[in-house]
């Protein structure tokens, strides 16, 4: 039912916004909860209290200053989840060095671009994980990255020697000159132009977003948060690490990357009270043959985000995993990330049918894209958000910033949504062609640009097709060059190895003589999707 009320809502005005830098927030946490667990790396068998964490963070910050880093320098971190990642996150923030988070699945093609675009002086990195040899790829990349001065690999003497003693005065002097409004983090999000854009976030952006997410989950220093989602993304480093920091809760790392058994084992061993994940993660955990062997009775809450949650899954999470207060969050990297969130006492119907309502100190509206005015509640339009969480802009790309951030401070998300009379928001679609695969946002244009580099490809169009496990999977329709006869999915995987992140490699590939076009010469992707659905209804998708 459509209401006369406009689709516009403001969040609560309490509690107050934080006015600290991340370094100041860590100092307050160490003073208030010195003996509470801060970081627990389960596979590494390492743990820190808040007092110990601040001490080691300041030792690392001192070493970074002594090695020549200065506020405003960009430093990358390229690694799966591990304790060193977290210490680097807090140490760089302590001295105003801007941390650039790099997707651990990136290959050389993507890595070199973000290093150069952000002007990174250093990169912290793992040595190896699964089939990725970070040492080799970074060594090769340095020839194409003239500003990259140093690489420090975790688990080596080169990283360990950066921890310095006796540099507190230098750290304090730098920290005293920092502002909460300073840029402190750059996170790359794929762009429709085929190149990632670096969303630039401040202390104020991400510290407050983590704080209010934690407030709506009723976090205290008694909470222990299991974080199997990646640190390189806001889900891990903001909704996870910073929500914990601002409430004295423990950050529990169950594994370097998602492993359903390791996740539940960590909940069991560490008596975690909160668990994060995208719906596919919870589905994988519930499907474990030995699920009942894990004691999950300590759980009470958590976050599910990234894609809609099926009602049956939500009911199992509540009943079998004891997460009666699990929350749904919606947002984007450019908004630090969370704009809307369900509350802990919302009924299941709202948690599976909506993405909640606007968070504290934020404002949202749903607008008619053409007119720019808020539509009436019950009508579909583009979701916009405004407030403390909106990014400073895309790193060194003012023209791209202006495309999404208007003069009044509204961030235009590109997502289509509808708001009900109580202010709850439902995401109904996307105004662009973004594919959400297992919670990962993938923009087809970036993949298309890469496919154009294949010698047999004349043109390519990438779409999302329905998939039971991931929600959507990538499919590429390709037009071959003259003389080429066939291009299979295996051929594309081989060509993309070490060049494109695994999740961006199309699972399905089909050749086509020409694309269906509109009268104005635009490719009809809707028709390509219809063709794919019909095709997959009668073959094995090879």
HEC string of 190-246? CCCCCCCEEEEEEHHHHHHHHHHHHHHCCCCCCCEEECCCCCCCHHHHHHHHHHHHC
Would you state the torsion angle of the CA atoms of residues 204, 77, 445, 335, taken in this order, to the nearest 10 degrees?
-10
For CATH 3.40.50.12780, list the domain ranges present in the chain.
Answer: 22-419
Half-sphere exposure (CA, 13 Å, Cβ side) for 242?
34
For CATH 3.30.300.30, list the domain ranges present in the chain.
Answer: 435-536
> Does pLDDT of 522 surpass 60?
no
301-304 and 274-277 strand pairing: parallel
Residue-level pLDDT at 542: 43
Cis (ω within 30 of 0) for the bond into 143?
A: no
Of the chain, the percentage scoring pLDDT greater than 90 comes to 76
> Does pLDDT of 92 surpass 80?
yes
> Does pLDDT of 288 surpass 70?
yes
> Does pLDDT of 337 surpass 90?
yes
Give dist(CA 524, CA 162) in Å, integer: 54
CA dihedral for 321, 252, 183, 153, sign (positive or negative): negative
- Residue 97 zone, left/alpha/beta (φ > 0; ψ -120 to 50; rest): beta
Residue-level pLDDT at 538: 56
Q: From the options 1.10.530.10, 3.40.50.1820, 2.40.30.10, 3.30.300.30, give the CATH code of 435-536.
A: 3.30.300.30
CA angle 351, 430, 407 (to 5 degrees): 100
Residue-level pLDDT at 310: 74
Give dist(CA 10, CA 519) in Å, integer: 43
**Looking at per-residue confidence, does 371 or 445 come out higher?**
371
The superfamily (CATH) of domain 22-419 is ANL, N-terminal domain (3.40.50.12780)
Give dist(CA 359, CA 291) in Å, integer: 34
429 pLDDT tier (thresholds 50, 70, 90): low
Least confident among 68-82, 83-97, 134-148, 368-382: 368-382
**Phi and psi, residue 18, nearest 5°:** -75, 145
Q: Give the pLDDT mean for 253-264.
A: 97
Of the chain, the percentage scoring pLDDT greater than 70 comes to 95
Structure tokens at 480: 């071959």
> Does pLDDT of 330 surpass 90?
yes
> Does pLDDT of 176 surpass 60?
yes
Residue-level pLDDT at 373: 92
- 215, 207, 219, 239: which is closest to 388 by C-alpha? 207
Give dist(CA 273, CA 301) in Å, integer: 6
Q: What's the pTM value of the predicted model, to 2 decimals?
A: 0.84
CA angle 517, 519, 524 (to 5 degrees): 30
Least confident among 13-27, 126-140, 263-277, 434-448: 434-448
- 364, 296, 297: which is closest to 331 by C-alpha? 364
Q: pLDDT, tens digit, for every residue of 493-515?
A: 999 988 899 889 999 999 999 88
Residue-level pLDDT at 271: 98
CA angle 134, 94, 108 (to 5 degrees): 20
Name beta bridge partners: 264. none
Residue-level pLDDT at 541: 47
What would you measure as the largest C-alpha separation in the chain, in angstroms? 70
> Does pLDDT of 540 surpass 60?
no
CA dihedral for 80, 81, 85, 90, sign (positive or negative): positive
**Looking at per-residue confidence, does 209 or 524 come out higher?**
209
CA angle 103, 451, 465 (to 5 degrees): 75
Q: pLDDT, tens digit, for every residue of 353-365?
A: 899 999 999 999 9
Residue-level pLDDT at 236: 96
Give dist(CA 111, CA 120) in Å, integer: 11
> Does pLDDT of 455 surpass 80?
yes
Look over the chain and give the mean of its residue pLDDT values, rounded to a whole number.
92
Q: Give the pLDDT mean for 105-109.
A: 88
Q: Give the pLDDT mean for 93-120.
A: 95
> Does pLDDT of 105 surpass 90?
no
Residue-level pLDDT at 193: 41
Q: Give the pLDDT mean for 386-410.
A: 97
Residue-level pLDDT at 109: 87
> Does pLDDT of 537 surpass 80?
no
> Does pLDDT of 489 surpass 70?
yes
Helix (H, G, I), strand (E, B) or coil at 365: strand
85 pLDDT tier (thresholds 50, 70, 90): very high
Q: Give the pLDDT mean for 155-165.
A: 97
Q: Give the pLDDT mean for 146-162.
A: 97
Structure tokens at 261: 């058994």
Q: Give the pLDDT mean for 104-127.
A: 95
């Amino acid at each position: 039912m459509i209401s006369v009320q406009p689709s516009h809502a403001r969040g609560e005005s309490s509690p107050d916004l934080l006015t600290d830098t991340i370094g100041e927030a860590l100092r307050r946490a160490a003073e208030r909860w010195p003996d509470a667990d801060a970081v627990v790396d389960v596979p590494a068998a390492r743990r820190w209290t808040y007092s110990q964490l601040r001490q080691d963070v300041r030792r690392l910050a001192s070493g970074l200053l002594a090695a020549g880093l200065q506020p405003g320098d960009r430093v990358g971190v390229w690694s799966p989840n591990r304790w060193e990642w977290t210490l680097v996150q807090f140490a760089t923030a302590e001295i105003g060095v801007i941390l650039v988070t790099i997707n651990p699945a990136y290959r050389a093609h993507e890595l070199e671009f973000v290093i150069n675009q952000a002007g990174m002086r250093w990169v912290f990195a793992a040595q190896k994980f699964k089939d990725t040899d970070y040492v080799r790829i970074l060594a090769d990349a340095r020839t194409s990255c003239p500003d990259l001065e140093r690489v420090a690999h975790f688990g080596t003497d080169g990283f360990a020697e950066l921890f310095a003693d006796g540099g507190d005065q230098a750290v304090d002097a730098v920290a005293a000159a920092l502002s909460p409004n300073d840029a402190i983090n750059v996170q790359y999000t794929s762009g429709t132009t085929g190149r990632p854009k670096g969303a630039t976030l401040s202390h104020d952006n991400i510290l407050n977003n983590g704080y209010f997410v934690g407030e709506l989950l009723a976090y205290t220093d008694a909470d222990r948060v299991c974080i199997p989602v990646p640190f390189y993304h806001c889900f891990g480093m903001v909704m996870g690490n910073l929500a914990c920091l601002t409430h004295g809760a423990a950050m529990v790392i169950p594994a370097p990357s998602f492993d359903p058994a390791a996740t539940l084992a960590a909940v069991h061993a560490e008596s975690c009270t909160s668990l994060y994940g995208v719906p596919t993660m919870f589905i994988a955990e519930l499907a474990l043959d030995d699920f009942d062997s894990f004691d999950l009775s300590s759980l009470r809450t958590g976050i599910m985000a990234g894609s809609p949650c099926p009602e049956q899954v939500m009911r199992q999470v509540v009943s079998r995993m004891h997460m009666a207060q699990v929350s749904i969050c919606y947002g984007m990297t450019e908004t630090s990330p969370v704009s809307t969130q369900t509350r802990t006492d919302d009924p299941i119907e709202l948690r599976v049918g909506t993405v909640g309502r606007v968070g504290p100190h934020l404002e949202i509206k749903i607008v008619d894209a053409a007119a720019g005015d808020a539509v009436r509640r019950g009508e579909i339009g583009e979701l916009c958000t405004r407030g403390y969480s909106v990014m400073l802009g895309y790193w060194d790309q003012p023209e791209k910033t202006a495309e999404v951030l208007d003069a009044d401070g509204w961030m235009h998300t590109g997502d289509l949504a509808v708001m009900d009379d109580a202010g709850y928001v439902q995401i109904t679609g996307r105004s662009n062609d973004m594919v959400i695969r297992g919670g990962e946002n993938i923009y087809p244009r970036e993949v298309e640009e890469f496919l154009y580099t294949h010698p047999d490809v004349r043109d390519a169009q990438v779409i999302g097709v329905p998939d039971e496990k991931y929600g959507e999977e990538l499919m590429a329709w390709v037009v071959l060059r003259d003389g080429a006869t066939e291009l299979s999915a295996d051929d594309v995987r081989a060509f993309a190895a070490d060049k494109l992140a695994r999740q961006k490699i199309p699972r399905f590939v089909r050749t086509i003589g020409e694309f269906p076009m509109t009268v104005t010469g635009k490719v009809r992707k809707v028709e390509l999707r219809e063709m794919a659905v019909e095709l997959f209804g009668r073959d094995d998708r090879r």
